[in-house]
Chain A
Amino acid sequence: MASHQRSPAIKGAKVLMVGAGGIGCELLKTLALSGFEDIHIIDMDTIEVSNLNRQFLFRQSHVGQSKAKVARDAVLRFRPHISITSYHANVKDPDFNVDFFKQFNVVLNGLDNLDARRHVNRLCLASDVPLVESGTTGFLGQVTVHVKGKTECYECQPKPTPKTYPVCTITSTPSKFVHCIVWAKDLLFAKLFGDKNQENDLNARSSNAASSSQQAEDVFERQNDEGIDEYAKRIYDHVFGYNIGVALSNEETWKNRNRPKPLYSRDVFPEEPSQQNGNMDKNCATDDPLSVSAMASLGLKNPQDIWSLLENSRIFLEALKLFFGKREKEIGNLSFDKDDQLAVEFVTAAANIRAASFGIPLHSLFEAKGIAGNIVHAVATTNAVIAGLIVIEAIKVLQRDANNYRMTYCLEHPSRKMLLMPVEPFEPNKSCYVCSETPLLLEVNTHRSKLRDFVEKIVKAKLGMNCPLIMHGPALLYEVGDDLDKDMAANYAANLEKVLSELPSPVTGGTMLTVEDLQQEFTCNINIKHREEFDEEKEPDGMLLSGWTQAPRVEKDDNKTVGNGGSSTSNASSAMPVEAEEDDDIEFVPTGKKRKVGEISKATNPNLSDVADDDVLVMLDGENLDINKKKKLQ
Chain B
Amino acid sequence: MDGEELTEQETALYDRQIRVWGVDAQRRLSKAHILVSGMKGTVVEFCKNIVLAGVGSLTLVDSREVTEEALSANFLIPPDENVYSGKTLAELCCDSLKDFNPMVRVSVEKGDISSFGGDFYDRFDVVVISSCSFATKKLINEKCRKVSKRIAFYTVDCRDSCGEIYVDLQNYTYSKKKLDETDECQLQYPSFEEAVTIPWRALPKKVTKLYLAMRVIERFEEAEGRNPGEISIADLPGVLKLKKELCEAQSFNESHVPDALLERLVSDTSEFPPVCAILGGILGQEVIKAISGKGDPLKNFFFFDAIDGKGIIEDISNPNPGS
Q: What is the interface of chain A, defined by CB distance below 8 A to chain B?
A: 1-5, 26, 29-30, 32-34, 49-50, 52-54, 56, 59-60, 75, 77-80, 138-139, 301-304, 366, 370, 375-385, 387-389, 391-392, 406, 408, 410, 412-414, 417-422, 584, 607, 610-611, 631, 633-634
Contacts and interface: CB of A to CB of B under 8 A. Distances in A.
A168 B130 CA distance: 60
A201 to B, nearest CB: 30
Contacts of A406: 309
B311 interface: yes
- 9 smallest A-B Cβ distances: which pairs? A420-B311, A1-B161, A388-B277, A422-B309, A385-B281, A33-B273, A384-B281, A388-B278, A388-B274
Given A388-B273, A392-B274, 17 more contacts: A1-B160, A2-B161, A33-B75, A34-B273, A50-B13, A52-B13, A53-B14, A56-B48, A380-B49, A380-B281, A380-B284, A381-B281, A385-B282, A422-B308, A611-B179, A631-B20, A634-B177
A385 B288 CA distance: 15
30 contacts: A5-B72, A29-B75, A30-B273, A32-B75, A33-B276, A50-B13, A52-B13, A53-B15, A53-B53, A54-B52, A56-B100, A78-B75, A78-B76, A139-B20, A375-B15, A380-B53, A381-B288, A384-B48, A385-B278, A385-B282, A387-B274, A389-B274, A389-B278, A391-B274, A418-B310, A419-B311, A419-B312, A420-B309, A633-B177, A633-B179
Contacts of A391: 273-274, 277
B273 A303 contact: no
Contacts of B288: 381
A302 B5 contact: yes
Max chain B CB contacts within 10 Å: which of A379, A406, A419, A420? A379
Contacts of A56: 48, 52, 100
A2 B272 contact: yes
B187 interface: no
A418 B311 contact: yes
A54 B50 CA distance: 10
B78 interface: yes
Given A78-B78, A139-B285, A384-B45, A2 B268 contact: yes
B17 A53 contact: yes
B307 A1 contact: yes
Contacts of B312: 417-419
Contacts of A392: 274, 306, 309
B277 A378 contact: no
B263 interface: no
Interface of B: 5, 8, 11-21, 23, 41, 45, 48-49, 52-54, 72-79, 99-102, 160-161, 177-180, 268, 270-278, 280-282, 284-285, 288, 295-296, 298, 302, 304, 306-314
Contacts of B48: 56, 380, 384
A380, A631, A634 interface centre (most CB from chain B within 10 Å): A380
A193 B18 CA distance: 31
B13 A78 contact: no
B49 A381 contact: yes
Contacts of A54: 16-17, 52
Nearest to B21: A379
A421 B310 contact: yes
Contacts of B160: 1-2
A414 B286 CA distance: 13
Which of B5, B15, B17, B295: most chain A Cβ within 10 A?
Answer: B15
A348 to B, nearest CB: 15
Contacts of A138: 20
B8 A633 contact: no
A419 B161 contact: no
Contact of B19 (A375, A382, A387, A634): A375
A59 B102 CA distance: 10
A410 B277 CA distance: 13
Nearest to A3: B268
A393 to B, nearest CB: 9
Contacts of B102: 60
A413 B78 CA distance: 37
Contacts of A301: 8
A370 B282 contact: no
Given A139-B20, A382-B285, A78 B273 contact: no
B302 A419 contact: yes
A34 B45 CA distance: 14
A415 to B, nearest CB: 10
Contact of B274 (A34, A78, A80, A139): A34
A98 to B, nearest CB: 30
Nearest to A137: B20
A376 B101 CA distance: 22
A600 to B, nearest CB: 14
B33 to A, nearest CB: 19
Nearest to B102: A60
Contacts of A379: 16-17, 20-21, 53, 285
A474 B304 CA distance: 57
Nearest to B283: A381
B11 to A, nearest CB: 6
Contacts of A413: 296
Nearest to B12: A49
Contact of B52 (A53, A80, A634): A53
Contacts of B179: 607, 610-611, 633
A384 B277 contact: yes
Contact of B17 (A49, A303, A378): A378
A388 B268 contact: no
A19 B310 CA distance: 26
Contacts of A2: 160-161, 268, 270-272
B23 to A, nearest CB: 6
B278 to A, nearest CB: 4
Contact of A417 (B5, B41, B280, B314): B314
Nearest to A416: B312
A78 B79 contact: yes
Contacts of B311: 410, 418-421
A181 B41 CA distance: 45
Contacts of B75: 29, 32-33, 75, 78
A301 B280 CA distance: 36
A78 B275 contact: no
Given A1-B160, A381-B285, A419-B313, A376 B277 contact: no
Contacts of B306: 1, 392
A419 B53 contact: no
A1 B162 CA distance: 9
Contacts of B304: 420
A623 B278 CA distance: 24
Contacts of B271: 2
Contact of B16 (A376, A389, A412, A419): A376
A521 B205 CA distance: 53
B56 to A, nearest CB: 16
A370 B100 CA distance: 25
A419 B268 contact: no
A587 to B, nearest CB: 12
Contacts of A387: 274, 277
Contacts of A4: 272
Contacts of A611: 179
A303 B304 CA distance: 40
B29 to A, nearest CB: 11
| Interface-centre pick from B75, B274, B307 (highest chain A CB count, 10 A) | B274
Contacts of B275: 388
Nearest to B277: A388
A370 B278 CA distance: 28
Contacts of A414: 313
A376 B17 CA distance: 9
A239 B1 CA distance: 42
A127 B179 CA distance: 47
Contacts of A29: 75, 277
A246 to B, nearest CB: 37
A419 B282 contact: yes
Contacts of A383: 281
A412 B20 CA distance: 12
